[in-house]
Amino acid sequence: MRADLNTPWRIGSVEIPTRLVLAPMAGVSVQAFRRQGRRYGAGLVCSEMVSCAGLSHKNERTLGYLRIGRDEHPLAVQIFGAEPRVMAEAARMVEAAGADLVDINFGCPVRKVTKTGAGASMLDEPARAAAIVESVAQAVDVPVCVKLRRGVPNGSRTALEVGPMLVQAGASSITLHPRSAQQMYTGTADHSLTAELVELVDIPVVASGDITSRERAESVLAETGCAAVMVGRAAQGNPWAVGEIAGIVDGHPSREEVVAELLLFMRDTVLEMGEQRATGFLKKFYGWYLGRGRFPKPFANELVRLATVEAVEERLLAAAPGASEVLAGLEADIPALDDVVLDLPVSIYAGG
Say if residues 16 and 76 touch (Cβ distance below 8 Å): no
- Quick one: pLDDT at residue 70? 84
* Bigger pLDDT: 217 vs 57: 217
Between CA 307 and CA 214 the distance in angstroms is 38
CB-CB contact of 38 with 17 (8 Å): no
- For residues 70 and 83, give the distance between their C-alpha atoms in angstroms, rounded to a whole number: 31
- Is the pLDDT score of 102 beyond 60? yes
pLDDT band at 352 (very low <50, low <70, confident <90, very high): very low
| Per-residue pLDDT, 288 | 97
Question: Model's pTM, two decimal places?
Answer: 0.91
What's the mean pLDDT in 258-275?
94
Helix residue ranges per DSSP H, 52-103: 52-56, 60-63, 84-97
Q: Establish whether 145 is a catalytic residue.
A: no
Radius of gyration of the chain (CA): 20
pLDDT in the model for residue 344: 45
DSSP 91: H
Give me the pLDDT at residue 56, please.
75
Contacts of residue 37, defined as CB under 8 A and 6 or more positions apart, other chains included, come to 22, 45, 235, 239, 242
Confidence of residue 155 (pLDDT cuts 50, 70, 90): very high
Residue from 46, 52, 108, 145 carrying the catalytic annotation: 108
To the nearest whole number, what is the mean pLDDT of the chain? 91
As a whole number, mean pLDDT of residues 120-130 equals 95
Q: What average pLDDT does range 294-312 have in this prediction?
A: 95
Q: Give the model's confidence band at 245: pLDDT under 50 very low, under 70 low, under 90 confident, else very high.
A: very high
| Model confidence at 2: pLDDT above 70 | no
Tell me how many degrees the CA angle 144-21-289 measures, rounded to the nearest 5. Answer: 135
pLDDT at residue 24 greater than cutoff 80: yes
